[in-house]
Amino acid sequence: MTASRYLIAAVAAMAATGAADSATAKIIDQSALGFTVAHTAQVAAAPADVWKMLRTPDKWWSKAHSWSGDAANFWLDSQAGGCFCEKLPDGGAGVGSVQHARVLFSRPGQLLRLSGAFGPLQGEALTGTLTIQIKPTPTGSALRFDYVVGGYMRFKTEEIAPAVDAVIGEQLRGLAEALGGALPPARDEAEAAKPEGEQSLPGSPDRKDGESGLADVAADLARTDEPIADPR
């Protein structure tokens, strides 16, 4: 996968992001030293099912962001030190392989942290850390992807950060879709987006029972300007 192919795929991902109302995304910060992006979504799957799906990237990581053009070539060893890798089919000189990332932290059903500079970032002097957090909700699980990139690169941060942000968001959407699709935002999130004076009062008849617990978890994960904490 060349840098130009990656960026073309990223542009397509950015266009798709506009239609992804069920997920939230944000470039938290960026500078000449690097950048941080975060994406959140909710699914109806239990944390154990989310974890099981995470371990099979061939079912949800986009083939548009592969080196072989076929997602079936992805695999993930989810233990610390394990590889998120891809097989490169034999082109006549033997079978090849690519390491996308290495597992740093693995806590089943809760957190998976990978170290790797994806796509064309791999050819730069960069460190990329992808933290995937899973939290239980009354209707399934809340998911969050944080990707922190830093170091020296020949790309301009202001140009590459939005593209990488779109790519990471595309992978979260792929994971959500593989788990049955992302759920709509919690009602409290929609309320917060309304102009002042239009929010429903606590206890109003249009608030359904049980939504406040889901909203609390969603709000916790949606604080994309705060660093993510390891569950203890």
Question: What's the mean pLDDT in 190-211?
Answer: 40
CATH at residue 60: 3.30.530.20
CA atoms within 13 A on the CB side of 72: 2
Please tell me the predicted confidence (pLDDT) of residue 91.
85
Please tell me the predicted confidence (pLDDT) of residue 92.
87
Task: Show the domain range for 121.
Answer: 3-193+207-222
Please tell me the predicted confidence (pLDDT) of residue 222.
54
Burial class of residue 204 in the structure, from the number of CB atoms within 10 Å of its CB (0-12 exposed, 13-18 middle, 19+ buried): exposed
Indicate the residue type of 150.
G
The domain total for the chain is: 1
Please tell me the predicted confidence (pLDDT) of residue 231.
52
Question: What's the mean pLDDT in 196-225?
Answer: 45
Report the mean per-residue pLDDT for the chain: 81
Question: What's the mean pLDDT in 197-208?
Answer: 39
Domain assignment present for residue 156? The answer is: yes
Higher-pLDDT residue of 19, 2: 2
Q: Is the pLDDT of residue 110 over 90?
A: yes
Banded pLDDT at 199 (limits 50, 70, 90): very low
Q: Is the dihedral of CA 112, 184, 20, 178 positive or negative?
A: positive
Query: Which distant-in-sequence residues (6+ apart) come within 8 Å of 180 by Cβ?
Result: 43, 44, 45
Least confident of 45-54, 77-86, 187-196, 222-231: 187-196
Q: Is the pLDDT of residue 4 over 80?
A: no
Predicted model pTM: 0.76
Q: Are 174 and 154 in contact (CB under 8 A)?
A: no
Question: What's the mean pLDDT in 199-225?
Answer: 46
Domain assignment present for residue 180? The answer is: yes
Banded pLDDT at 184 (limits 50, 70, 90): confident
Q: Are 73 and 83 in contact (CB under 8 A)?
A: no
Please tell me which of 6-10, 162-166, 228-232 the model is most confident about, judged by mean pLDDT.
Answer: 162-166
- Taking only the tens place, the pLDDT of each residue in 13-66 is 444 444 344 556 689 999 999 999 999 999 999 999 999 999 999 999 999 999
Domain assignment present for residue 163? The answer is: yes
Please tell me the predicted confidence (pLDDT) of residue 208.
43
Query: Which distant-in-sequence residues (6+ apart) come within 8 Å of 165 by Cβ?
Result: 25, 27, 37
Q: Is the pLDDT of residue 136 over 70?
A: yes
